[in-house]
Amino acid sequence: MIRVQREDFDVGVELERLAAGNHRIGGLSSFIGLVRDMGGEERVSALTLEHYPGMTEKKLGEMETEAHRRWPLDAVLIIHRYGRLEPGDRIVLVATASPHREAALAACQFLIDWLKTDAPFWKSEETPAGERWVESRAEDEAARRRWKLCP
């Protein structure tokens, strides 16, 4: 399941719901991305996430489908927020459930790696020196390449 929203989410409720009633699930892996108070050397007082409505849902849906194709998963959840967020706020939740831990763990890592390079979100940070757009990281491209995805 895919959700793109301004509002915060309740991690406990979301993870509970993901596995509820499905006793085939043996492993539930999750990753939560949070707003940090530092961006490089600069103190960050807030972050604004812009996205491309329509394409965001499409790309996240493709990622969900590809994860199901690669691993035996019982459930996938991606929630990504947009709008203005402050340090400590949740940005993203990726969760995967499978009979076996290996599949859940690998799929969760795959999804967050792919999401970092391909989900159309952009961050701008509020710093003492003014507002600035976050630059993409070469490490994120390297992490994506691990999964042998088409360009």
Partner 1 sequence: MKLLYFAWLRARIGCAEEELDLPPEIREVAGLLDWLQSRGGRYAEALRDLSVVRVAVNQNYVGLEHPVREGDEVAIFPPVTGG
Residues that bind its own copies (CB under 8 A): 10-13, 15-16, 19, 21-38, 87-88, 99, 101-102, 104-105, 108-109, 112, 116, 139, 143
Minimum CB distance to partner 1, residue 23 (Å): 17
Q: Which residues bind partner 1 (CB under 8 A)?
A: 33, 49-52, 54-55, 58-59, 80, 91-92, 101, 112, 115-124, 133-136, 151
Length of the chain: 151
Name which of partner 1, its own copies, none residue 119 binds, using a CB cut-off of 5 to 8 Å depending on partner kind. partner 1
Name which of its own copies, partner 1, none residue 32 binds, using a CB cut-off of 5 to 8 Å depending on partner kind. its own copies
> DSSP label at 74?
S
Give dist(CA 25, CA 113) in Å, integer. 23
Nearer to its own copies, 60 or 108 (CB): 108
Minimum CB distance to its own copies, residue 54 (Å): 26
**CA 144 centroid distance within chain:** 13
Find, among 69, 75, 76, 67, the residue nearest to 114 by Cα.
Answer: 67
Q: Are strands 42-43 and 46-51 parallel, antiparallel or unpaired?
A: unpaired
Name which of partner 1, its own copies, none residue 107 binds, using a CB cut-off of 5 to 8 Å depending on partner kind. none
Q: What would the DSSP string read from start to end of 107-136? A: HHHHHHHHHHHHS-EEEEEEETTEEEEPPP
